[in-house]
Amino acid sequence: MPKWLCLQKILHVRLTTCLSITLCLVAINQFFASYGYYNYRHLDQESLRHYLYTKRNPNLTTKSKSECRYNDILQSSKFIYNTKIPRKYDDFVPNGIINGSYSPQDCIPLFSVAILVTYRNRQSQLDIFIPYIHNFLRKQNIHYKIYIIEQQDEKQWNKGLLYNIGAKQAILDKFPCLILHDIDLLPLDDSNLYACLNQPRHMSASIDKFRFVLIYKTLVGGVLAITSDQYKELNGFSNKFQGWGGEDDDFAGRISNHNLEILRFPPHMSRYTMLQHKQEHKNKDRHRIMEENKHNSQNDGLNSVRYEMINIKNHRLFTLIGVRL
């Protein structure tokens, strides 16, 4: 073969390889750039305090005279690496926690927050979540109480209904702010203050499982803070979503139908790690139910929950609400 033909062949192969590699890189880049928002619309870190919904539970008795301060927490840059999260808590010290509730002793908290966690068959996650979240929250100068709402039957999982049950109890206990919390999500930033804003707040906007991007703008699943008054105004969650998914998207619809806005902290304050578990089967009917449910929230929600209460039991680290649906 003449030399020039050989050279031409090598050049051709090199050129096609280079072209394919470039195309692959462009495709990968496009995939990551288009799937989610790295820098979603959020409040400025400096202006957050203007949006805080400061309200205490009237049942809280306070000994101290001065009010707690939150600036240092909101400005904190402490980030907990997810690899550093303990999987075992042999040395957990439950100081100050009674019936799942805690309040700082040396200052008067400005926020009282009910943390609502829906639950069934996730013992290993509960064992990690509970001590971790108490350690995290006790640094935040807030008054809080953790409710675990357990579906104690074999029927299809109904997260929306369980949230309604938990919200009813927390409202009865006079909590002005509700934080709806997935059990598999752990906050990583100390600055992520567990408090309500004057509009619903999607707290888990940056999850490691989703490469720390917000996967779509109306997502409110994961961790959401909402005032009890707003929750009542929206009539809570729909009770119609059975199985996995959709109830949070429907709730986002309720939020926008009531002209409320979803607010978020900046991404570097909203990071979470997700504990591993196998993906549940998605409810294939969720989009259809959502469509049928549009503008029908007044008959389906907090005012139409049907369930059998099994017990409400105070444990040291949480209050357990056991129900059958």
Point out which residues bind ligand BGC (CB under 6 A): 221, 245-246, 248-249, 286
Cβ distance to ligand BGC smaller for residue 173 or 249? 249
The CB-of-282 to ligand BGC minimum distance in angstroms stands at 7
Helices (H), 35-158: 71-75, 123-137
* Residue among 153 and 249 whose Cβ is closer to ligand BGC: 249
Report the largest interatomic distance among the alpha carbons of the chain, rounded to a whole angstrom: 95
State how far the Cα of 225 lies from the Cα of 35, in Å rounded to an integer.
25
Task: Specify the residue, 171 or 185, whose C-beta has the smaller distance to ligand BGC.
Answer: 185
Give the shortest CB-221-to-ligand BGC separation in angstroms: 3
| Least distance in angstroms from the C-beta of 143 to ligand BGC | 29
CB–CB of 252/246 below 8 Å?
no
Cα 147 to Cα 98, 197, 272: the distances in Å are 12, 21, 20
What whole-number distance in Å separates Cα of residue 115 and Cα of residue 132? 14
- State which residue, 55 or 202, has the beta carbon closest to ligand BGC: 202
**Structure tokens given for 170:** 């927390």
Helix (H, G, I), strand (E, B) or coil at 12: helix
- Counts of helices then strands in the chain (DSSP H, E): 7, 11
Q: Least distance from C-beta 258 to ligand BGC, angstroms?
A: 20
Contact indicator for 240, 300 with CB cutoff of 8 Å: yes
Which is it for the CA torsion 131, 227, 320, 325, positive or negative?
negative
Q: How far is the CB of 131 from ligand BGC (least distance, A)?
A: 26
Nearer CB in complex with ligand BGC: 110/207: 207
Q: And the tokens for 115?
A: 């943390």
Least distance from C-beta 295 to ligand BGC, angstroms? 19
- Beta carbon nearer to ligand BGC, 130 or 290: 290
CA distance 225 to 231: 10
Q: How far is CA 24 from CA 19, 21, 321, in A?
A: 9, 5, 52
C-beta of residue 210 within 8 angstroms of C-beta of residue 261 = no
The torsion of the CA quartet 236, 239, 243, 247, rounded to 10 degrees, works out to -30
Nearer to ligand BGC, 245 or 266 (CB): 245
Nearest to ligand BGC of 112, 158 (CB atom): 158
Smallest separation (angstroms) from ligand BGC to the CB of 222: 7
Please state, as a whole number, how many other Cβ atoms lie within 10 Å of the Cβ of residue 231: 26
- Residue 268 near residue 283 (C-beta atoms within 8 A): no
Compute the least distance from the CB of residue 245 to ligand BGC, in Å. Answer: 4
CB nearer to ligand BGC: give 245 or 322: 245
